[in-house]
Structure 1
Amino acid sequence: MMQRIPSSSGETPNDFTFSDHDFQMISNLANARYGLFLQPSKKALVHSRLAKRLRALKLASFEDYCSLLNKTEGDAERPHLLSALTTNVTHFFREIHHFDFLKDVLMPQLIEKAQAGNPVRIWSSACSSGQEAYSIAAALIAAAPKVSQYDVKILATDIDPQVIQTAKRAVYPTEQIATLPPFWRDLLTGSKRSQSGEFSIDPTLQNLISFGELNLIADWPMRGKFDVILCRNAAIYFDKATQARLWGRFAEVMVEGGHLMIGHSERLSGPAQSAFKSVGITTYQKLTGASAPSKITDKGDKN
């Protein structure tokens, strides 16, 4: 999932009073449940986005909205809250250097590992509406056309259930691939494009991926370890302490020598810096014998 709070303030509706206390309640809830860090400068935007939810629910105030969210009856509303507070901005082969590195540098090693009978696992940990995961799959096919014969799988997760449904549907506007080189377009579509302004991802790519909902600040159910993890343009929206814990947790679930790819404006921080070395543009390799840095916690970390 690409978790982000947009920078533009947008309209501020004046039909609901939105006090600093109301903003703080929303901010605290978003942070506790989703790890989102809402800066005070986002108050007008949050007001604008959530006022639409108050109207839809026929609520009289933000205090009533917060009260609903903290009750069992609010379970159905929380996904709407998340979608209102986040904007999923992504596209195929975003930050192309990561996919070039995966195709040209990592895949020969990973295929050799798979040919020896070992599983290869790649995790797109903030996959948004699926473009990142399908780009990974295309890079795998480009490097090893017979990759589906081996035990190579991509796990793609996001906190937002709505974008996960889009990813599973695997149908996108044709305009999203219009500027891609024909080589990549053909890998994504299997050379078959719809006349309706949409295209479907080639089933060969779809079969490499398992999509699911996952909150990065909650418990992770996976038990195996990953060879490659992508977490791009998501951690920047967490506070510094949460970021540091997240990098450490990635180190824990990664094989020795595995690789972590992060967003262009993100940097490793905290104890995890000693677990990785830089091997490319925002690409890091886990050092052999690296300790488990995420064991360093604060009172609010239950992991």
Structure 2
Amino acid sequence: MRTIHAPGGTPGRWAVLAALVVLAVVMLFPFVIVTSNAIKSPAEYSSGGPLSLPQGVYFDGIVEFWQRVDFGRKLWNSFLISGTVALAAVVLSVLNAYALGIGRVRGRLWILVFFLVANTMPQEALVYPLYYLAKQAGLYDSKLAVIVIFTVIQAAFGTYLLSAVLGQFPREILEAAALDGAGRWRTLWRIVVPISRPTLSVLVIFFFIWTWNEFFLPLIFLISNDNQTVPVALGVLQGDKMMDATMSSASALLGIVPAVAFFLIFQRTLTRGITVGAVK
């Protein structure tokens, strides 16, 4: 006897779908409120409050905040630091993990434990030593100091993760490359890196977003207005008496949009990388 299934899926699937919709609404609600208040005039905000709908589009708050903090420069600083750190940290992670995961250097386990402990240390414990070293090297209040610091911090996590991935790399492929006369350097860039590209793409995206959102160390090391990043500029201006509620919302919106745009642009790459890693 044939069983006829009702179209549209089971009640369990509908419950999961409904829960996901509710979760999406809850997550998007603050973003909608910030956007709504950013395009309101101060008079509309005063009369209707933060939850009222805007009666028109008012860009003066966004324009005034952009000009006041020189937001274009802050945006460029964040892109430069985050992009450089993401690429440099992945390259350093690949080199370290290739030696630890495939090269099997002596003391591999203790080295990985060291990287893990270094990655779990709070930034507050690193401030004074890094401040002292930056002062001695003449790099204090420079973007290069922040790039070097975050490259090392992100590479510690990347090395720990990639060492586990490359430790499971098929030995047959490496042996075939050795028989064909490929050296270690050529094996790394012609075989290991192309095969591991999905995982490396995910690391680049994560490193970029993590560095973009960093606030504490850039606040300490970037004291000049011309060197500050977006989170630092937003944090310094919070509570400014010259900023009304609509301008504060405009600043929050301008700080969120670049990271969201970057995530949406590389969403397919991120999804593909996670899926390939799960299949492997």
**TM-score, normalised on structure 1?**
0.23
Q: Which has the higher relative contact order, 1 or 2, with Cα contacts under 8 A spaced 6 or more apart?
A: 2
Bigger radius of gyration: 2
Q: Which has more strand, going by share of residues?
A: 1
**TM-score, normalised on structure 2?**
0.24
Q: Which has more helix, going by share of residues?
A: 2
